[in-house]
Structure 1
Amino acid sequence: MTPQPWRALALAGVLLAAGCVLPPKDDAPQQTALAAADLGLAGAAAPHAAEGWWTAFGDPQLDRLVDQALAQHPSLAEALARVRGAQAQALAAGAPLRPGVTLDGDESRQRLSENYIYPPAQYGFAASGGNMAWLGQVGLNLNWDLDFWGRQAALLGQARAQARAAQLDAVSARLALSGSIAHAYVQLYQSYALADIAGQALRQRETLLKLTQGRVRAGLDTQVELKTAEAALPQARSARLQADSQRELAVHHLAALAGHGADAYAAIGRPQLTLDAALPLPDALPLDLLSRRPDVLAARARVEAASAGRTAARAAFFPDISLKAFAGYQAVGLDDLFDAGSKVYGVGPALHLPIFDAQRLKAGYLGASAELDDAIARYNDTVLSAVRDVADQLSLVDSLGRQIVQARARLDATEAAYALAQRRYGAGLSSQLVVLNAESNVLDARRELVTLNANLVIARVSLLLTLGGSFNPAPPNTDVAAGVPS
């Protein structure tokens, strides 16, 4: 063997050694993901909700509004657009792991250099230095990154995890939208009920005014009681107007959530909810909470993406080796381009060495490590929020159930007291003030019961959503874009 190959091998060894810039030694993540065992999840697995859980309320109008919102709401369309973008990135990240083949060709007429590879013009060739000639080539080119250090595989894993996180974000947006519509619908139900109470109060004030007028004519009451009864009537009318206004605002809010404008206001009627509809709710913090909430799974996928990005940043310190090949035709002159003698082909390795790039590579690696710590911290915050949300809603549902029992008892007592006060006032045994106070107590008790019932339904819906709603987690990597290599 001649000295030249030895020199080439020695030079390659020096370049290879120089190219292997070592990453920083202190590369352990500073954050640690919370484990489910440390979060107090001691209950049984949560019962699974049906896909259209809102249909349990038995209101076709609610079903229609939710279906319309899920089909056309802008926020959900935005989330789905991000999913498509992330899936496209996953496809792009997987492309370097496959051989890339291109077909290239060009033909140009140019003056040939007198001081290059072409013979001088005195030799009489058409393709001679100083002459004009057609130069052309056509061929297939192959480039295949062999990915010895796993950088491209890590980038693919990162893109896949980001695509899964985007899909889980879309699921979260879908759950949030359906839950928001259910909440707004219950609030519309509450607004109608409060308007009914305001109407009852107005009728009671009108009845009281007639009773007082009769007592004044009979000489049993004075003008003081009459003016008091007359003054209470505008107050009741104002309360009814306020209740009607709140109902209209609830309609506007519901229509906007469903993706409609003012043209839909007249089509939204009074809700016909079954308030005690059965929803699958747990009695304690469920064991499978972290495996069924899409926001928690999305945060976990982002941790996986950041970890893969850090692996890719570490692999960038090492030489990038790829295989290149070409085959085609090259010729001077159009007639000889596809002649058998114009064939060219070749194959060989290509090496990229990061020799004097250590600072940029280290900055990229440290940045990737910081992104991993940030993703872990965000995951931990999401996990703690999930546990707190479920615990809060469990406590709220239990508390509201107990409050409703007391509110019903209070309403029964105040209605009985009001009926007695009316009879005593009609018989002249008590004053008008006693009747007004009794009436106020009844109205307050009715409003309280309506509000508590509505809040209980909202809390049950919120609890269902904090458990992940009807989301059924799919196995990892089964929902990335088709065509991405495994």
Structure 2
Amino acid sequence: MMFKLTRLSLALGLAAGMTLGLSACVSPPKEDTRITQIDSSKLGLSQNNSPRAAEGWWKVFGDAQLNQLIDDALVNSPSLGEALIRVRGAQAQAIAAGAKLRPGFAIDADETYQRLSENYIYPPKELGLGLSGGDKAWLGQTTLGMSWDLDFWGEQENLLKQARNKVVAAELDSATARLMLSGAMAQSYVDLFRSYALADIAQQNERQRETMLKITKSRVNAGLDTQLELKVAEAALPQARTARLQAEIQRDIAIHNLAALSGHGADAYDKIGRPQIAPDATLPLPNELTLDLLSRRPDILAAKARVEAATAGRAAAKAAFYPDINLKAFVGVQAVGLDKLSDSGSAIYGAGPALHLPVFDSQRLKAGYIGATAELDEAVASYNETLLKAVRDVADQLSRLESLKRQLAEANQTSMATEAAYKLAQSRYQAGLSSQLVVLNAETQVLNSRRDLVSLNTQLLITRVTLLLTFGGSFDPTSYPALAQGVTHE
């Protein structure tokens, strides 16, 4: 037994020596990466921490219908389902990559009925030694084989790292899809809220035009106005009705959009009612650009995981230039004739090293390494772009939020002034102290200010939601175990 182990060790030693001697035949090309990853410390981000939104952050609006629609969307959305399918695919690839690091076992069996060669290992018939050349017989063999790639150069290990990081990236893509879906639902719900408010204004306008027409008719009958004022008042009423119809169709379209996002069809249209959200609900929003943005956004972490995956893939492509050394072993039975397979003398076994040298495969290996380097550059460039876009997104929303607050303060003052002017113009017209044109101009100003208030209030609400989303929303990396297990660091 000691002799056999010594011969096995010698065989492995000879294989390693051949490996070192022949590895110089094919070497990796000098292909360096060309894209440098951005240093996050040079982005001008504050070291302070910002508040994190809780899971189900949209519940602060106090609208049960919104809560139900988002719950439905997170269950029924096709886009979220596609992201989860990609996670399963990445997990399957990781399992396959991990299997290559473990010994593989296989059972092989075959039975073949054949004519035995007269010019092979079988004796001639004239010797009379039993089974001879020219005879026909069953040749059978059953073996349990083992093959184990020793992975001296880390190729399989790096492929496993690459696959695990792809799982992480897919998990984070799913988190991104979930985050964006909940945000899109909340924003679309605010859009429905705005559509209802604009429809209300259009209805108020229609009623005001009806009132104006009645006043004008009374004044014409009293001889205070002419047919000109009457025709102007009559023309204004269908314009108001048209505006109301336009506002109502926008409301219906907003309902259709919400139903589609929540994974429903036309059956849900009649079930979606008027939003009852509290526009001034408190959301945990950042007030500056902080460094923890990098760990709050799943898309940034997904881009980072893809950089790690590409790094491992490049290392695996480099290791492919070196020889593979496997250990192989088998045990089984082999016999001529079915009745001999169970005989103890039919047992066979063996073990030894196997060597694969990529001597004449240089072009394919070099192409693979260059391609892996390009993939790493692409991943780094994508990470840099994602990071810069995230910083820009948050900065944009912070600036927009402050601007909308100031615009809203000005719009409130304008609204109060126009409402007062309109009431005064109506009273003066009814008393015969001003013309109809003054009233119509005042009414136009009132309608514009009301629309501006609705628009600014809903823009402010949508901006607050968008800011929450651009800062990662309720994403919590600690709730994704694959993030801790899969992402590798050099």
TM-score range, shorter chain: over 0.9
1:150 counterpart (143, 151, 154): 154
Q: Distance in 2 between matches of 1:373 and 1:86?
A: 21
CA drift of 1:7 comes to 13
CA drift of 1:364 comes to 0.8
Per-residue Cα deviation, 1:384-419 (whole angstroms, up to 9, x for no partner): 000000000111111111111111111111000001
CA drift of 1:209 comes to 1.0
User: In the alignment, what sits opposite 2:40?
Assistant: 36
The reply to whether residue 458 of structure 1 matches residue 454 of structure 2 is: no
Assess if the C-alpha contact under 8 Å between 1:328 and 1:344 holds in 2.
yes
User: In the alignment, what sits opposite 2:282?
Assistant: 278
1:205 counterpart (195, 206, 209): 209
Q: Distance in 2 between matches of 1:7 and 1:318?
A: 18
User: In the alignment, what sits opposite 1:376?
Assistant: 380
CA, structure 1 residues 8+102, in 2 after alignment: closer, same or farther (shift >3 Å)?
A: closer
Assess if the C-alpha contact under 8 Å between 1:164 and 1:301 holds in 2.
yes
Say which is worse superposed, 43-52 or 282-291, in terms of deviation.
Answer: 43-52
CA, structure 1 residues 333+40, in 2 after alignment: closer, same or farther (shift >3 Å)?
A: same
CA drift of 1:124 comes to 2.9
Q: Distance in 2 between matches of 1:297 and 1:164?
A: 9
CA drift of 1:41 comes to 0.9
Q: Distance in 2 between matches of 1:77 and 1:120?
A: 70
Q: What secondary structure is seen at the aligned counterpart in 1 of 2:46?
A: coil
Amino acid in structure 1 at the alignment position of 2:127: Y
The reply to whether residue 110 of structure 1 matches residue 148 of structure 2 is: no
Query: Counterparts of 1:412-431 in structure 2 under 5 Å?
Result: 412-431=416-435
Query: Counterparts of 1:392-471 in structure 2 under 5 Å?
Result: 392-471=396-475
User: In the alignment, what sits opposite 1:316?
Assistant: 320
The reply to whether residue 233 of structure 1 matches residue 243 of structure 2 is: no
Q: Distance in 2 between matches of 1:403 and 1:127?
A: 103
Q: What secondary structure is seen at the aligned counterpart in 2 of 1:54?
A: helix
CA, structure 1 residues 480+79, in 2 after alignment: closer, same or farther (shift >3 Å)?
A: farther
CA drift of 1:123 comes to 2.9
CA, structure 1 residues 12+459, in 2 after alignment: closer, same or farther (shift >3 Å)?
A: closer
Per-residue Cα deviation, 1:320-343 (whole angstroms, up to 9, x for no partner): 111111111111111221211111
User: In the alignment, what sits opposite 2:167?
Assistant: 163
Q: What TM-score comes out, normalization by structure 2 length?
A: 0.94
Amino acid in structure 2 at the alignment position of 1:386: A
CA drift of 1:278 comes to 1.0
Q: What secondary structure is seen at the aligned counterpart in 2 of 1:375?
A: helix
Query: Counterparts of 1:81-92 in structure 2 under 5 Å?
Result: 81-92=85-96
Q: What secondary structure is seen at the aligned counterpart in 1 of 2:100?
A: helix
Q: What percent identity do the matched residue pairs reach?
A: 63
Assess if the C-alpha contact under 8 Å between 2:11 and 2:352 holds in 1.
no
Per-residue Cα deviation, 1:159-215 (whole angstroms, up to 9, x for no partner): 000111011111111111111111111111100000000000001111111111111
Unaligned runs of 5+ in 2: 1-9
Per-residue Cα deviation, 1:126-173 (whole angstroms, up to 9, x for no partner): 432111111111121010000000000000000000111011111111
Unaligned runs of 5+ in 1: 1-5
CA, structure 1 residues 128+228, in 2 after alignment: closer, same or farther (shift >3 Å)?
A: same
Amino acid in structure 2 at the alignment position of 1:287: L
Q: What secondary structure is seen at the aligned counterpart in 2 of 1:40?
A: coil
CA, structure 1 residues 366+255, in 2 after alignment: closer, same or farther (shift >3 Å)?
A: same
1:97 counterpart (93, 96, 101): 101
Per-residue Cα deviation, 1:362-399 (whole angstroms, up to 9, x for no partner): 11111111110111011100000000000001111111
Q: Distance in 2 between matches of 1:31 and 1:301?
A: 16
User: In the alignment, what sits opposite 1:122?
Assistant: 126
The reply to whether residue 54 of structure 1 matches residue 58 of structure 2 is: yes
Equivalent residues, number: 477
1:359 counterpart (336, 358, 363): 363
Q: Distance in 2 between matches of 1:79 and 1:480?
A: 20
Q: Distance in 2 between matches of 1:63 and 1:9?
A: 67
Q: Distance in 2 between matches of 1:425 and 1:333?
A: 119
CA drift of 1:220 comes to 1.5
The reply to whether residue 138 of structure 1 matches residue 138 of structure 2 is: no
CA drift of 1:268 comes to 0.9
2:337 counterpart (313, 333, 339): 333
Assess if the C-alpha contact under 8 Å between 1:43 and 1:284 holds in 2.
no
Q: What secondary structure is seen at the aligned counterpart in 2 of 1:346?
A: strand
Assess if the C-alpha contact under 8 Å between 1:126 and 1:133 holds in 2.
no
User: In the alignment, what sits opposite 2:5?
Assistant: none
User: In the alignment, what sits opposite 1:77?
Assistant: 81
Q: What secondary structure is seen at the aligned counterpart in 1 of 2:478?
A: coil
CA drift of 1:42 comes to 1.0
Amino acid in structure 2 at the alignment position of 1:192: Y
The reply to whether residue 247 of structure 1 matches residue 251 of structure 2 is: yes
Amino acid in structure 1 at the alignment position of 2:325: I
Q: Distance in 1 between matches of 2:157 and 2:295?
A: 26
CA RMSD after TM alignment: 2.1
